[in-house]
Amino acid sequence: MANVTVIGAQWGDEGKGKIVDWLASRADAVVRFQGGHNAGHTLVVGDKVYKLSLLPSGIVTGTLSVIGNGVVLDPWALKAEIEKLEGQGVTIDADNFAVADNCPLILPLHRDLDGLRETAAGAGKIGTTGRGIGPAYEDKVGRRAIRVCDLAHLDQLEPQLDRLCAHHDALRAGFDQPPVDREALLADLREIAPFVLQFAQPVWKRLKKVRKAGAKILFEGAQGVLLDVDHGTYPFVTSSNTVSGTAAAGSGLGPGSTGFVLGIVKAYTTRVGSGPFPTELDDATGQRLGERGHEFGTVTGRQRRCGWFDAVLVRQSCAISGVTGIALTKLDVLDGFDTVRICTGYRLNGKILDYFPSHSAEQAAVEPIYEEMEGWRETTAGARSWAELPAQAIKYIQRVQELIETPVALVSTSPEREDTILVRDPFLD
């Protein structure tokens, strides 16, 4: 298994950044395969801090970085992110960066629609990142998207623009908005086209070559399994498939290419945006988790909702995504609690459930069944071996592992790269 696929096993924000950064430093290629600039993470390399949203993590170390066809690409966000990184001294060129030429574009009209719909939905809003992700994916499956390869043929765009605008103008009229300004859109596309096209290519071909040469590929997932459009807390989800299987379809490699599936799991639970959250704590404990864990969204700055670890959800995520092993993160946030709780099942209408049901009303109605464990007073922050962990913290990790029916491959004990307890190296497995 030379390749590794990293996915979030909760609602995103599990601390993928540090783990992906560590793995990216040893990979030959890093591939984003879904989502867009709704993702966000911070990389700390030496004394420099890099904020990435769309670009794969390998970019800061010069590793071949690829945006696969499964991503929705905002070309202006791409340009801004690249220019910012170049300003920090990072070299980005066609040698170390490629964008799939069949990648659909996020256009200003998608951002407009995202905002209009969220505002109109009132209390029923999804709580999106407002980046136009959902509308762009809708146009992709609706077969009216403008894709990266179209940027090389803008003189032939009229029929596509007709289809796209007919759809959006009808929606916009319903929201009392003027029709799409086609001339302005076309002018903007003409201006941005050369920038994007310098990186555009059939990336499946490049990845095939890289793979044939024996390279180690890191597939970098965004968001988390519980935000998956099929398997997540629908409709409070993102608009892509966030499960590991998407790594193959979203990059143009076969299903055997995903390798070791590393599920990133936070030692407690958080979520941004609306939707069911069985173990959410609306009290001082939830506030304490949020403060200790610095739980604010990287992209939108929103405060994250916090709660106890939900083993039912993570067991389900690991099963759905074929997780080989997990990386447990942010254990130190639980330091100092007298007792800690883990959700081991749900109660719904007098019945006990060992899984999360599909219907949103049932998802909202389940009551968590908790198992309580003694906490630990000592700090786990910075531990690099089991011997440095308090006995109760080890018991907690073992219980988590048992309940989710998936082994722990590593435990991350601080944002620092070296503060990690390695049980199984995903690249060597």
Subset of 170-199 contacting ligand IMP (CB under 6 A): none
Catalytic annotation, pick one of 140, 216, 231, 266: 140
Smallest separation (angstroms) from ligand IMP to the CB of 199: 23
Subset of 25-54 contacting ligand IMP (CB under 6 A): 38-40
Tell me if 40 is assigned to a ligand binding site: yes
Tell me if 251 is assigned to a ligand binding site: no
Give me the phi and psi of 345, to 5 degrees please.
-175, 175
317 is an interface residue for ligand IMP by CB under 6 A: no
Whole-angstrom Cα distance, residue 327 to residue 410?
5
Whole-angstrom Cα distance, residue 185 to residue 172?
15
Catalytic: 359? no
Contacts of 400 by beta carbon, 8 Å cutoff, 6+ apart: 265, 267, 309, 311, 314, 328, 342, 408
Smallest separation (angstroms) from ligand IMP to the CB of 112: 14
Smallest separation (angstroms) from ligand IMP to the CB of 384: 28
Per the structure block, which two tokens stand in for 383? 């531990």
Distances (CA, A) of 208 to 7, 252, 254: 22, 9, 10
What is the number of other CB atoms lying within 10 angstroms of the CB of residue 115? 16
Q: Which of 64, 77, 189, 222 lies at the binding interface for ligand IMP (CB under 6 A)? A: 222
Subset of 244-273 contacting ligand IMP (CB under 6 A): 272-273
Q: Which of 34, 63, 102, 223 lies at the binding interface for ligand IMP (CB under 6 A)? A: 223
# chain residues binding ligand IMP, by CB under 6 A: 21
Catalytic: 48? no
10 is an interface residue for ligand IMP by CB under 6 A: no
Whole-angstrom Cα distance, residue 330 to residue 380?
9
126 is an interface residue for ligand IMP by CB under 6 A: yes
Catalytic: 140? yes
19 is an interface residue for ligand IMP by CB under 6 A: no
Per residue, the 3-state secondary structure of 122-172, as one string, reads HHHCCCCCCCCHHHHHHHHHCCCCCEHHHHHHHHHCHHHHHHHHHHHHHHH
233 is an interface residue for ligand IMP by CB under 6 A: no
Q: Which of 37, 131, 172, 266 lies at the binding interface for ligand IMP (CB under 6 A)? A: 131
Closest residue to ligand IMP using C-beta atoms: 273
Tell me if 359 is assigned to a ligand binding site: no
Closer to ligand IMP by Cβ: residue 239 or 392: 239
What is the number of other CB atoms lying within 10 angstroms of the CB of residue 117? 16
Whole-angstrom Cα distance, residue 43 to residue 21?
7
Closer to ligand IMP by Cβ: residue 3 or 128: 128
Residues 265 and 314 sit within 8 Å (Cβ to Cβ): yes
Q: Which of 5, 12, 34, 65 lies at the binding interface for ligand IMP (CB under 6 A)? A: 12
Contacts of 49 by beta carbon, 8 Å cutoff, 6+ apart: 42, 43
In the annotated binding site for Mg(2+), the residues are: 13, 40
Any idea which residues carry the catalytic annotation?
A: 13, 41, 140
Applying CB under 6 A, the residues found at the interface with ligand IMP are 11-13, 38-40, 126-129, 131, 133-134, 222-223, 227, 236, 238-239, 272-273
